[in-house]
A and B are shown apart, each in its own frame.
Chain A
Amino acid sequence: MITLNQVSLWRRTQEELTYDLKKTILSLLEGRYHRPVKHRILNDINLSILTGEKIGIIGANGSGKSTLLKVIVGILEPTLGSVKTHGRIAPLIELGAGFVGDLSVVNNILTYGVFLGVPLSTMRQRVSAILEFAELEAYAKTPVKALSSGMTARLGFAIATDVQPDILILDEVLSVGDERFKAKCQQRMQKLWQTQTTVVVVSHQMEFIQAACDRVIWLHQGQIQQVGPAQSVIEAYLATAREQQRYALN
């Protein structure tokens, strides 16, 4: 269960950052210092997602999809409004980030699991199952930095789906690995889909969203443009995109 109540978020944009003590002091002395400008990334978002619902989020690049996920996960706190979630959240944002390159695959599985809120003893029992699913048994002792990017992604997917979360957050992660592994992932996703797991997924693959999600949210410049059944929202979104393209061509 996820409830967002009138959530708005202001953030400093990346190009505003100075990151520099020397420059900041100099600009203070010269009187050119100005407070960092904040931009509104999310604007008055009201949303309630029921337990077991599968939600898709679509929208153009920079419309705030990933930011919305981060607010749901609790990484970012909303400037205004409130977010309430029940149950364990397993985020799958930007696969592969969060591994420590120097640690072995097994140790990474353990730390990752603990980060996701699973007790260490439980994680120990699950290590072999995770390795098996990721097809990395032979690499158990290898440091993660020695793995290929596909292998790292497989590992991330295997861990996050193995900890049996109540809420699973997916951000463009279904294009993992080779064709064979993709089929395997889809099987596991289907299994997850049948359980009571709440899934929030961001994707640009409209066919996937349409097939997999009960409800779709269309974000436009940080605001909810439309919420509703998958098909109608996707059609409206695609129609607007085509419209804009035609407009640009003329």
Chain B
Amino acid sequence: MTGIYTALFGAEFASYYNDSLLSYAMAAFLGLIVIHFFSASTTQALTSIVSNGTLLNKIKLPLSIFPVGIVTANTVQFTTGVLPLVLFLTLLKSGSWVNMCMVILPFIALIIICLGIALIVSGLYVFFRDLQYFYELITFSLWISSPVFYPPDIVPEAIQPFLKFNPLFIIIDSIRQIVFSSHVPYWSVVFSSFSTALLILAIGLACFHCWKTQYMDLL
């Protein structure tokens, strides 16, 4: 995917990344990691409660274990697969050990966001079994409105504030800042990504808890 984007848009957008094709490729790669992790973990979590309905009808289990388990599995996959590469790239690019350690922070915020969303969608799916198709649409629009393969600067200024409502935008932005800048990460970006993440998790927990009593009637 990174190769395709670089081939298609690399020449055009490289000017935003110090005229370096490699930098563009890395920026696209970092964006893709985030968006893939998000859509994979939440889409899998979506059906997790319903597909375990027979089990839940048989044994008493905490319901939240299924979406949380899916996100955890994806996290393990991520830390053993892509994370070492990301750490290496960060060290290479920024040349600073501090940045290499710091780059983990936005990913932690991403995991928290995924947990919150996973709780919401897995709960909603119990009520609405056609949510899958709507959710595909939602993840696609999140993906297209995140600066994955385009630099955020090309978006018209009037629209740019709206992009900030996309939680993945903040995550991708802060990861790129940490990777590409050689000085200490912008704490304000890290802070805002964490506060967004925790807000989403809180909403997720609240929704899940509110709906919990009705789940068993529908499984």
Nearest CB on B from A87, distance (A): 13
- For window 83-134 of chain A, which residues contact chain B by CB distance below 8 Å? 89, 91, 93-94, 97-98, 115-116
Instruction: Please indicate the chain B residues that have their CB under 8 angstroms from the CB of A175 in the complex.
Output: none
Nearest CB on A from B215, distance (A): 10
CB atoms of A21 and B218 under 8 A apart: no
Q: What's the dominant secondary structure at chain B's contact region?
A: helix
Instruction: Please indicate the chain A residues that have their CB under 8 angstroms from the CB of B55 in the complex.
Output: 97-98, 115
CB atoms of A97 and B54 under 8 A apart: yes
Q: Mark B77-118, 1 if CB is under 8 A from A, else 0.
A: 000000000000000000000000000000000000000000
Instruction: Please indicate the chain B residues that have their CB under 8 angstroms from the CB of A12 in the complex.
Output: 214, 217-218
Contact of B57 among A21, A24, A97 (CB under 8 A): A97
Binds A, one of B16-24, B36-44, B125-133, B165-173: B125-133
Instruction: Please indicate the chain A residues that have their CB under 8 angstroms from the CB of B129 in the complex.
Output: 19-20
Contact of B61 among A11, A76, A94, A115 (CB under 8 A): A115
CB atoms of A20 and B216 under 8 A apart: no
CB atoms of A70 and B131 under 8 A apart: no
Nearest CB on B from A156, distance (A): 9
A98 to B218, CA, bound (A): 17
For B, the interface residue count at a CB cutoff of 8 angstroms equals: 19
Instruction: Please indicate the chain B residues that have their CB under 8 angstroms from the CB of A17 in the complex.
Output: 218
Among residues of A, the one whose C-beta sits closest to the C-beta of B219 is A75
- For window 121-162 of chain B, which residues contact chain A by CB distance below 8 Å? 127-131, 134
- For window 54-73 of chain A, which residues contact chain B by CB distance below 8 Å? 70, 73
Contact of B128 among A21, A74, A115, A116 (CB under 8 A): A21
- Asked whether any CB of chain B lies closer than 8 Å to the CB of A22, the reply is yes
Instruction: Please indicate the chain B residues that have their CB under 8 angstroms from the CB of A98 in the complex.
Output: 54-55, 58-59
Nearest CB on B from A73, distance (A): 6
Residues of A within 8 A of B (CB): 11-12, 17, 19-22, 24, 70, 73-77, 89, 91, 93-94, 97-98, 115-116
The 10 closest A-B pairs by CB, nearest first: A21-B128, A97-B54, A74-B60, A98-B55, A19-B129, A12-B217, A98-B58, A11-B217, A115-B59, A93-B58
